[in-house]
Amino acid sequence: MAQSRRRRQEAPTALAELLKQTAPGKAAANVVLSRATWLEIAGVAFAKRTRPDRVERGTLHVVVVSPGWAQELTLHAPVLLERLRAKGVEVERMRFRVGDVEPPDRGGIHAPARTHRRRPRPRSPGSRGRTSARRWSGRP
């Protein structure tokens, strides 16, 4: 006589709990870093020229405007990684690639538009437009 076994039905598991049970690299692949958080971590100078792309297997991929900025960020990576960890973003390393970057929205804070032109410097009456010393005429 075969007894039929009934499976005990359990309550559904929350997605966050399932992600905690997966490998760290796979769970971190779903992390998205917002531009506002990146602005706080990287600062205004770096955030204007970079944007976070994705976190994959413990690596934060960042898009930069030029190879020079990629080099600069490589030198600052240890400090940036420390700031990321302080914000709760679990990353072990950063990778940079050159691409298109739009400047972040700074909430309407912009430099004021120039409304006036710079005045020309006054010239001395005998200069006749020359800004350097008079040329030697050959006379003592």
The total domain count for the chain is 1
Residue 125 lies in a domain: no
Two structure tokens written together for 106: 């700074």
pLDDT tens digit string along 29-70? 445 677 888 888 988 888 889 988 888 888 899 999 999 999
At residue 46, what are phi and psi to the nearest 5 degrees?
-75, -40
Write the DSSP string, 21-48.
HS-HHHHHTT----HHHHHHHH-HHHHT
Q: Is the pLDDT of residue 94 over 90?
A: yes
Residue 134 lies in a domain: no
Residue 85 lies in a domain: yes
Residue 5 lies in a domain: no
Rg (CA), the chain: 30
How far is CA 98 from its chain centroid?
12
Two structure tokens written together for 18: 């399932």
CATH number at residue 63: 3.30.300
Is the whole model's pTM more than 0.85, yes or no?
A: no
As a whole number of angstroms, the distance between CA 26 and CA 12 comes to: 21
pLDDT tens digit string along 72-90? 999 999 999 999 889 888 8
Residue 114 lies in a domain: no
How far is CA 68 from its chain centroid?
14
Residue 96's CB: how many other CB atoms inside 10 A? 20
Per the structure, the complete domain to which residue 90 belongs is given by 22-98
% pLDDT > 70, the chain? 56
Residue 89 lies in a domain: yes
